Structure 1
């Protein structure tokens, strides 16, 4: 029987220009960052088996920009994640958010959270690690990125990935994980979780969590914090006692301005202190 090979794919559809349908209506507190002084828009990233779309933002002028990978929530690379990239570009970074679910489906067009979760559950961690590796390679080769200044940040689903990718790629200088899940069942697609790699973590990670997050129990956050004490590299977890899940997501009712702004200041300081600036 002839060996079957996976057909290569090409990213022909564009990233959504607005917000994921499932998160309507949009909050009046939504932050919109303009394009003054930066270049921003969709790009195509060559990956192992084809091409995936990504959103890229960087300063208009210059080169050798420090690179920040921005990893999406379960809603895809929609307007909020794109704006986060523009905010980072205003700070002097080359920020890139690759569409991590591209092969499995366009979650931005789905209205049912349950259907979105079905798509996300089919995404292998190995695929994500490989696609992020490819994004880093593209940033250095095609987008004027500095290979010696690489950071990562992610939200919710992307918060978990932030921990895992920092353990996967030793070139990462620092990471900031926003309310990412820390524990879980070991499966073929998700063999390890942040608590499993905590002891061997060589990259300083700042974890930002909400004390009233109903999806991420505080005991799991404390478990992670305790495990990090044995690391050779200093990581830190900050818990905002009154914040719910997704407190940085300014387009949602969960947004908490005080905690979000404090977390953003901590992110900037963390990257500067750890060589990603």
Structure 2
């Protein structure tokens, strides 16, 4: 599933343009990410925008602006805010749909394109190249700063960041843990199969296990028992670190689905496991509603 048929999709796309401030991506791509493989049309969920204010916005950041997808109930303000952190594939149709699903539940949901300076994930057909040329070049510091800027934008545009949550998938699941330990305003997080332990380096100096004891808001971890990349041992290690942490850490919890692997919520991919995805979504909504609405 690492690449699509032999069509040279890259040749069909316009050349990348680097702006004066160093941004490669200045607007969101349409459709699904090509590197994710063929779309499973029979399971891909499509949420309409009826009753919503939904579409692309620009988020001012310290060195320019980045595109983001925003969805919120139309005509309403002072909404609880949920930051949505992308998979490795960027802010494509699946992530946009997740934002609309959250908006239908009464939230302002915003997904900033966090690779804007490194590359356009929609252009890639091979996961290996996407990882080596874009994803693995994104510093955590940049990501955290862009999420701070997104929360600040939300507060000025109808959102109430005193009721702030964050959710993310795969690559974004790891970021949920880090951001919940970074921003004191985070009241709750939901991490979908995000890495918990791993090597450190200049771009990733900290892993979730290192900040588990210092969360500002509790995190619900939704993981697959058949996920070859995230072992049960690493989950158990994380559970112990949380148990030895502060109040928010102790309030965090995991749900592991024994029959699910990685990316079980990604309804547009063969990895989708309907029962786990639906149960996880119900748990996520209950988690956020309790923390952000009550």
TM over 0.5: yes
Aligned counterpart for 2:233 among listed residues 216, 219, 232: 219
Counterparts of 1:222 and 1:96, CA distance in 2: 31
Contact 1:11 / 1:53 at 8 angstroms: preserved in 2? no
Shift of 1:91: 0.5
Q: Does 1:20 align with 2:33?
A: yes
Contact 1:64 / 1:145 at 8 angstroms: preserved in 2? yes
Alignment of 1:233-252 (within 5 A): 233=248, 234-252=251-269
Alignment of 1:126-137 (within 5 A): 126-137=141-152
Shift of 1:104: 0.2
Report which stretch shifted further, 251-260 or 15-24.
Answer: 15-24
Residues 112-143 of structure 1: CA distance to partner in whole angstroms, max 9, x if unpaired?
Answer: 111111111100000000000000010111x2
SS of the residue 1:121 aligns to: helix
Tell me which residue corresponds to 2:282: 265
SS of the residue 1:197 aligns to: helix
Alignment of 1:71-110 (within 5 A): 71-110=85-124
SS of the residue 2:118 aligns to: coil
Contact 1:22 / 1:108 at 8 angstroms: preserved in 2? yes
Measured on the aligned residues, the alpha-carbon RMSD in Å equals 1.4
Aligned counterpart for 2:163 among listed residues 119, 136, 149: 149
Counterparts of 2:238 and 2:26, CA distance in 1: 39
Contact 2:173 / 2:194 at 8 angstroms: preserved in 1? yes
SS of the residue 1:252 aligns to: coil
Counterparts of 1:58 and 1:202, CA distance in 2: 25
Counterparts of 1:214 and 1:192, CA distance in 2: 22
Contact 1:31 / 1:251 at 8 angstroms: preserved in 2? yes
Shift of 1:13: 3.8
Counterparts of 1:127 and 1:139, CA distance in 2: 18
Contact 2:91 / 2:112 at 8 angstroms: preserved in 1? yes
Residues 199-222 of structure 1: CA distance to partner in whole angstroms, max 9, x if unpaired?
Answer: 222320000000000111111011
TM-score normalised to the size of structure 1? 0.95
Shift of 1:261: 0.5
SS of the residue 2:238 aligns to: helix
Shift of 1:11: 7.2
Shift of 1:35: 1.0
TM-score normalised to the size of structure 2? 0.89
- Structure 1 stretches (4+) deviating beyond 3 angstroms? 9-13
Aligned counterpart for 2:50 among listed residues 13, 29, 36: 36
Contact 2:25 / 2:115 at 8 angstroms: preserved in 1? no
For structure 1, which runs of at least 5 residues remain unmatched after alignment? 1-5
* TM-aligned CA distance change 1:115 to 1:239, over 3 Å: same
